A and B are shown apart, each in its own frame.
Chain A
Amino acid sequence: MAGLAEALGWAREQITSRVPKADLDQRDPDYIRDQLPGTWLLASLYFRADVQHLDRIPAEGPVLLIGNHSGGNVPPDTFVFTLAFCSYFGVERPFYQLAHNLVVSAPPLGWLRKFGTVAANHENARMALESGAALLVYPGGDYEVFRPSWERHTVDFDGRMGYVKLARDAGVPIVPVASVGGQESALFLNRGQWLAKLLRADKTLRLKSIPISLALPWGLNISDLAGHLPLPTKIAIEVQHPIEVDGDDQAVHDKVMASLQAGVDRLAARRRFPVIG
């Protein structure tokens, strides 16, 4: 038992020491611009993405974009929305995304920092908004992104509403971003929270879930740490109207959840088949 605790402690140290300090200057507009055609091809041909109502995002100034999250560790909705935002407002408008420590510290994913991806914590989020940037946050995080595929059209943040305080402190509006399709990129079976607790990954790696799914090319995929090949599922995204933070946290959170769920329901109603769309 002592050996296991030591090993987990070592793993924790390895990861936390690799989490890069958020340096907003690492975002590189020229790099993003060069990558847009490749991502446009992937979004248009492979995911047949459809992004609507970007005009609802305030044309300038800081804004907190709150999305429902889908697709496990390879979330197509994030990259489709990032492409859409950068195409619509231009790579010149600063735009950051919060991501799990494991994502920003993985050496093969270092390029994400050039896209403006920073580790998900309150300090980084505050810094991004204070700099005047748009910030994309998925409060549901690993809890929501690994929900079973049959709950794909349910928005569930597991009660997390710290983002409301963040928006209130920064004095910025919240714009909900609803999406569907991502949870059909693999067959997600179980969040595996029991497995995370059993292996103490919830304490050591901040992993609340070790999900179990059926995904390409692995077949049975436990943890999704190595990612997976997403199925060519149609991604549909609808930006909702901005919400001012003028009530108590619970009231604002309820408004955001209602707006997101209504958006997801609308998009889901237009969907005739899973994956195909």
Chain B
Amino acid sequence: MRVERRNVINADRDLVWKIVSDPDSYPSFMTNLERWESANDQSPGVGARYFVHWKVGSVPVGGLMEIVEFDDLRDLAWVGITGVTVRGRIRLRDEGQGRTKVTFRLSYQAPGGIWGYIADRVAVRQVGRIAADTLKRLKERAESRG
């Protein structure tokens, strides 16, 4: 399943990147985040690992994530190493007039064949809400700083 949500923030890209490039600040704007802990001593960037769990349905879902792309002012992407197969990306693009377009993508696939497929379908609405609400909170946070 792939979920994608976008919005435009009335703040310049430098400011938005400052927030999204600091994974330690994610608990302050990511919705339904139950756990966010650094798993290695590496500073934010490619190779940094985190334990991440979102509350989806009845229990926290996630696992150990590693940042695989850290393209200054543009893209930050991570993949799941344990738990469900998951890939996430936050993408920033200039929208002109000091505004920034933010895209938040989450791709995930549960194991377990047909049950995994059904679980993916059932979860997709909630994951969509999580992505949309996360962007809303990011916008509020960035615009309050701008």
Q: Which chain A residues have a beta carbon within 8 Å of chain B's beta carbons?
A: 33-38, 40-41, 43-45, 47-51, 54-55, 59, 80, 83-84, 87-88, 90-92
User: Using Cβ atoms and an 8 Å threshold, which residues of chain B touch A59?
Assistant: 37
Q: In the assembly, what is the distance between CA of A38 and CA of B61, in Å?
A: 14
Asked if B25 is at the interface of the complex by the 8 Å CB criterion, the answer is no
A88:B59 contact, CB within 8 angstroms: yes
Please give 9 more A-B residue pairs, beta carbons under 8 A apart, in addition to A36-B110, A36-B112.
A33-B111, A37-B119, A41-B115, A45-B122, A49-B58, A88-B60, A90-B63, A90-B82, A90-B83
- Whether A83 pairs with B116 at a CB distance below 8 angstroms is no
Where chain B touches its partner, the secondary structure class is mixed
Q: How far is the CA of A110 from the CA of B23 in the complex (A)?
A: 43
**In-complex Cβ contact of B53 among A50, A83, A88 (8 A):** A88
B113 at the A/B interface (Cβ < 8 Å)? yes
Distance A90 CA – B52 CA, assembled complex (angstroms): 11
- Chain B positions within 8 Å of A, measured between CB atoms, are 34-35, 37, 53, 57-64, 82-83, 110-113, 115-116, 118-120, 122
In contact, B60 and A36 (Cβ under 8 angstroms): no
Known: A48-B58, A88-B59. A38 touches B83 (CB 8 A): no
A-B contact pairs, 24 of them (CB 8 A): A35-B112, A35-B115, A36-B110, A36-B111, A37-B110, A37-B111, A37-B118, A37-B120, A38-B112, A38-B115, A40-B110, A41-B122, A44-B122, A47-B58, A50-B58, A59-B37, A80-B59, A84-B58, A87-B59, A87-B60, A87-B62, A88-B35, A90-B64, A90-B82
> Which residues of chain A come closer than 8 Å to B57, judged between CB atoms?
40, 43-45
Closest to B83 in A: A90
B35 touches A55 (CB 8 A): yes
Distance, CA A40 to CA B122, complexed state (A): 10
In this complex, what residue of A is CB-closest to B109?
A: A37
CB distance from B108 to the nearest CB of A (A): 11
Give Cα A230–Cα B19 distance, bound, in whole angstroms. Answer: 47
Partner of B60, one of A35, A43, A54, A92: A54
